[in-house]
Amino acid sequence: MLYYLFQFLEDKYQFPGAQLFEYLSFRSAMAILLSLLISTIYGKRIINYLQTKQIGESVRELGLQGQTEKAGTPTMGGIIIIISTLIPVLLLADLANIYVILLIITTVWMGAIGFLDDYIKTFKKDKEGLPGKFKILGQVGLGLIVGCIMYFHDGITIKEKANPQEVISQEMMLGANELPEMGPEQKTLTTTIPFVKNNEFDYSKIISWISPDLAKYAWIIFIPIVIFIVTAVSNGANLTDGIDGLAAGSSAIIVLTLGIFAWVSGNIIFSDYLNIMYIPRSGEMTIYITAFAGALVGFLWYNTYPAQVFMGDTGSLTIGGIIAVLAIASRKELLIPILCGIFLVENLSVMLQVSWFKYTKKKFGEGRRIFLMSPLHHHYQKKGHHESKIVVRFWVVGIILAILTIVTLKLR
């Protein structure tokens, strides 16, 4: 809203300083500062309100050290993250931008599902919360919305360079400091493949090799892929939220990395220099990303060990959904196994544990386990590691994965 106000002041009255709001860098800096202030200052008030309403965590006995002390800690703290993200975005972002709209829908949609789950756990005293099939249904619904918008909306396009001969002649005429002309905007399902030269892949090729006419039905392939990514990443974030600070800290690292990709992909100069896909209007996602990163870091103020508040499914499902949509919108979803490696191993540890237990029970009559406990962070707790050490080491691994992801910009 401030974005439109200062745009009006600049256009109508040439108001001093109003032009600053045209720059992504300025609005991004303002977004992260504002979200940090909201989450740290007003976060405490929200925590106090949750305590007043006795919205506390009911801890299941899992035999983990320090577990019983956490009973009664306020949950639903994901509200802090959601509010601290949306307020700066509504004030500073271009709300007509389709990518911003998509991220707001994701936040509200997944936040509502998570809130309903936490509400059932807290007020209905049902430790299972929202049945799993309804969570999956909600994730599938969001994936369907995101996939349809990405495929059908006219504002979601890419631009490629003019053909190589034109680029060579332009560079000879314009000089090295001038940019070659980009081609027209085009609707395409092209995405980025890491670690390979000419690293762009069009999903439509999965079926168009049979017949070129089938390319128009590529949505049959693309939308289920989007649904799978949204479901997998949101569940991964949900499983990672098991010890103080782990999900919020790991997610902040991932989100800031995606912010770099959104920035360079939405900037014609950087995308040309790095020889990556130029995605018009996607740079506006940087405002959302910085606000979201600030909200996560601010939430950590109260969520680090010993936590004063838990994010609950209100936070973890929302975080996972946003990360998935950011990766899809910036055409970097195939980097998720690297960038979201923490989420991936947490997911895999549960899948392997459950599958092996069922298999051995059927074969030997007694279920056996691969890990002392799953998800993986509980395995290390069972081994006697303090949760603060586990969290910091997971963060370090997350930083390494983030650096490796960024390196893919040039390592091909």
Mean pLDDT of the chain: 88
| pLDDT of amino acid 61 | 59
The mean pLDDT of 350-354, rounded to a whole number, is: 94
Measured distance CA(393)–CA(162) in Å, rounded = 46
Predicted confidence (pLDDT) per residue in 111-158, tens digit: 999 999 998 988 877 777 888 899 999 999 999 999 999 999 999 999
Pairwise pLDDT comparison (33 vs 181), residue with the higher score: 33
Nearest partner of 97 among 36, 149, 38, judged by Cα: 149
Q: In this structure, what token pair is assigned to residue 88? A: 């700066």
Sequence-ordered alpha helix ranges (H) in 282-332 = 285-303, 312-329
For the chain, which residues make up each domain, given as ranges?
A: 1-55+70-161+189-410
pLDDT higher than threshold 70 for residue 60: no
> pTM (2 decimals)?
0.92
Measured distance CA(311)–CA(303) in Å, rounded = 8
Give backbone dihedrals phi and psi of 58, rounded to 5 degrees, phi first.
Answer: -100, 110
3-state secondary structure of 330: coil
Pairwise pLDDT comparison (185 vs 369), residue with the higher score: 369
Check if the beta carbon of residue 159 is closer than 8 Å to that of residue 183.
Answer: yes
Burial of 371 (0-12, 13-18, 19+ CB in 10 A): middle
pLDDT higher than threshold 60 for residue 74: yes
DSSP 332: -
48 annotated as a binding-site residue: no
Instruction: Work out the number of other CB atoms within 10 angstroms of the CB of residue 46.
Output: 20
The mean pLDDT of 251-262, rounded to a whole number, is: 96
How far from the centroid of its chain's Cα atoms is residue 204's Cα? 25
Pairwise pLDDT comparison (140 vs 201), residue with the higher score: 140
Nearest partner of 402 among 240, 291, 255, judged by Cα: 255
Q: In this structure, what token pair is assigned to residue 390? A: 């586990």
| pLDDT of amino acid 238 | 93
11 annotated as a binding-site residue: no
Sequence-ordered alpha helix ranges (H) in 38-97 = 43-52, 78-92
Contacts of 111 (CB under 8 A, 6+ apart): 78, 79, 82, 314, 317, 318
DSSP 212: G
Burial of 369 (0-12, 13-18, 19+ CB in 10 A): middle
Check if the beta carbon of residue 203 is closer than 8 Å to that of residue 218.
Answer: yes
Cross-strand partners of 190: 202
